[in-house]
Amino acid sequence: MMITLDGCGPLYRQVYRGVRDAVLRGQLPPGARLPSSRALADELGLSRTVVLLAYEDLQAESYTETRAGAGTFVAPQVDHTLLSKAVSNDGLSNVLAADAAPRLSRFARRAMQQKPEAVYEQKQDSGLRFNFEYSVSEQDAQVVRLWRSLLAKHVTDSGAFYPSPQGELSLRMSVAKYAGHARGVHCDPGQILIVDGSQQSLDLIAKVLLDPGDRVLIEEPQYHGARAAFLAVGARLDLCPVDADGFDIALRPTNYEPGARLVYVTPSHQMPTGAVMTVARRLELLAWATDNSAYIVEDDYDSEFRYKSRPIPSLHSLDMHDRVIYLGTFAKAFSPTVRLAYMVLPAKLVAPFVSAKWLSDLGTPWLAQRALADYMDAGHYARRIRRLSRRYAARRSSLLAALRRYLGDEITIGDSSAGMHVLIWLNRIPPDRLPALIRAAARREVHLHSVASYYMNPPSRAGLLMGYTLLSEEEITEGVRRLGALLERFCRTKMAG
Ligand SMILES: Cc1ncc(COP(=O)(O)O)c(C=O)c1O
């Protein structure tokens, strides 16, 4: 029998592919007898074990069958005429190459346009010493120790059952207590849906509330994860500019109504500008949503960290007409790797969201939910937030002091009264030179992010998002000093140019 080995991967897979190709091309027709494993091994100059392994795989995939005492035969039901239509003259392996461009749904094509892999790449650990990464908390030994013991406690109970698609009741009860106390989000555990991160909340919102062509009113600039989820289902985004007082419904497009079915906002710390939405604007937005039967998504992603004494109440707490879908996440004050978050839903939306969640993954992993419920009930989560808030307040002050000292008039600093990052605008660097500045900073061990990806319409200024949660106060000062020196060089070369 003439079979060709393609030289790729383990020998037994090469033999397998050689025989399979011969079957599918019709060179070995249904019912044909294959050479014995010994004879083929001799013919190919291989060990018999290699051929036996290949024959095992061929039989497991029903290309062949073994008849006791008679040998191995091509299975009678393999219809090579159908399969050979998919095979080009260059050989069967091209079937796989052709698969490289499969026909995708509109949803998948829109999802790929959002370039999720680029966002993921950006958020990987740069390994640089002065890491101004934002929106992530440091882990400490205390959390690791507690988490390990809580997981160990519950791992013995995790048996042969599926978790509730709505989320474990114990965690929903802990969340209801926490959200009511910390954010004035008063709700019944029955209104809570536990999800695999806020990104899943956004994906479910897009699927449950939007059809292609539906409009979403969204902040400009906006969180790109929300933008991507809405665009992927074919929604149209209407942009509403954000100023120092946050989102302003009065700035919606003219002659708007009937407009958006959904409004997406980050009122307690606008992502990325940091603006905190005023109470007056919150009330106006709620009134507009009520009049227009629109839902408001309140993404309260990092509201745990506030550095001015009086917090502004959540939108949810001001909502008398069930217009707000509240999103909270454990990614910021606990860890992004556990992928746990929650939605607080108007009662009428619970059933459709639970159905969509069930379709998506049958339920969030059980073990981490149980461990987190214990962690919250024992007061560890509240204590961790208090501990981190103190640390972050000191680091934020160091960052602001260093920025004023080393960058002074070169920058304009955005609102920094809450959250885990500050947005700074570079007064003398044009936006097209920012990537070069970021690369040069990396050569000096300083890791920075541009704000540009948060805009649908590119900003006219160069902006940097600077996190301060992963660095000590000394590291922050030194990192900013390096940035200041670099900026001075950049400005000098520009003048010289
Ligand atoms: C505004 C906003 N919402 C949601 C998220 C994502 O949250 P999660 O990790 O829970 O999906 C982020 C992440 O940084 C964010 O900035």
pLDDT confidence bin for 138, thresholds 50/70/90: confident
Q: Tell me: do 400 and 444 sit in the same domain.
A: yes
Q: Which domain-ending residue is among 378, 397, 431?
A: 378
Q: Tell me: do 369 and 409 sit in the same domain.
A: no
Summarised one tens digit per residue, pLDDT across range 440-488 is 999 999 999 999 999 999 999 999 999 999 999 999 999 999 999 999 9
Question: Residues, the chain, total?
Answer: 497
Task: For residue 482, give the CATH number of its domain.
Answer: 3.90.1150.10
List the domain range (segments joined by +) for residue 61: 11-98
Summarised one tens digit per residue, pLDDT across range 377-431 is 999 999 999 999 999 999 999 999 999 999 999 999 998 889 999 999 999 999 9
3-class state of residue 63 by DSSP: coil
Counting from 1 in the atom list of ligand 1, the atom nearest the Cα of 201 is 11
Is the per-residue pLDDT at 435 higher than 80?
Answer: yes
Q: Tell me: do 411 and 306 sit in the same domain.
A: no
Counting from 1 in the atom list of ligand 1, the atom nearest the Cα of 271 is 1
Pocket test for ligand 1, best of 269, 301, 421, 453 (most atoms within 8 A of CB): 301
pLDDT of residue 258: 87
Q: Tell me: do 449 and 358 sit in the same domain.
A: no
Summarised one tens digit per residue, pLDDT across range 64-102 is 998 888 899 999 877 655 555 555 444 455 554 544 578
With a Cβ cut-off of 6 Å, ligand 1 is lined by 135, 197-199, 223, 225, 266, 271, 299, 301, 329, 331, 336, 341
Mean pLDDT of the chain: 91
Is the per-residue pLDDT at 118 higher than 80?
Answer: no
Q: Which domain-ending residue is among 353, 378, 403?
A: 378
Other residues' Cβ atoms within 10 Å of the Cβ of residue 456: 13
pLDDT of residue 153: 93
Q: Tell me: do 38 and 182 sit in the same domain.
A: no
Tally of domains in the chain: 3
Strand partners, 466: 422
Rounded to an integer, what distance in angstroms lies between the CA atom of residue 170 and that of residue 156? 17
Counting from 1 in the atom list of ligand 1, the atom nearest the Cα of 135 is 14
Q: Tell me: do 277 and 419 sit in the same domain.
A: no
| All residues at 6 or more sequence positions from 320 whose CB lies less than 8 Å from its CB, including other chains | 286
Could you tell me the distance, in angstroms and rounded to a whole number, from the CA of residue 334 to the centre of ligand 1?
A: 13
Task: For residue 77, give the CATH number of its domain.
Answer: 1.10.10.10
Q: Tell me: do 370 and 392 sit in the same domain.
A: no
Measured over the CA atoms of residue 421, residue 427, residue 429 and residue 430, the dihedral's sign is positive
Reading the block at residue 123, the tokens are 């958020």
Could you tell me the distance, in angstroms and rounded to a whole number, from the CA of residue 225 to the centre of ligand 1?
A: 7
Summarised one tens digit per residue, pLDDT across range 14-48 is 899 999 988 888 888 889 999 999 999 998 989 89
Name which of 77-91, 109-123, 257-271, 373-387 the model is least confident about. Answer: 77-91
Could you tell me the distance, in angstroms and rounded to a whole number, from the CA of residue 256 to the centre of ligand 1?
A: 29
